[in-house]
Amino acid sequence: MKVFRRLFACDTPIAASRVEIDKCEAMTTEIKRIARFFGADLAAITQMDERWLYSARVDVRDFSETENALPKGLTSVIVLGHQMDEELVAT
């Protein structure tokens, strides 16, 4: 089994301007379709709530604490769910 242990980084700049979405339901459907294409079992879009953010995260390469920096001004988030192996979780 391969284990992905690369530290995620924001390597794509945030767009200079916002695009207004006139058909939110259609955009939501498309985002969920793409999430499923990439392996998500569940996908949802909801308002950003900083109470659900960790103050730090773990760098799995050496298990050190790493800053959990996100871009300023986020108002919405995409939440993904991935099915987990029951026997693995039980360990």
Report in angstroms the alpha-carbon separations of 19 from 22, 23, 70: 9, 12, 20
d(CA 39, CA 81): 9
- Range with top average pLDDT, 6-10, 40-44, 87-91: 40-44
Question: What are the domain boundaries of the chain?
Answer: 24-90
Between 19 and 25, name the one with better pLDDT.
25
Q: What is the pLDDT of residues 21-50, one digit of tens each?
A: 899 999 999 999 999 999 999 999 999 998
**DSSP assigned state of 51:** G
* Backbone angle region of 62, left / alpha / beta, with phi > 0 → left and psi within -120 to 50 → alpha: alpha
Look-up of token digits 């939501």: 28
The answer to pTM > 0.75 is no
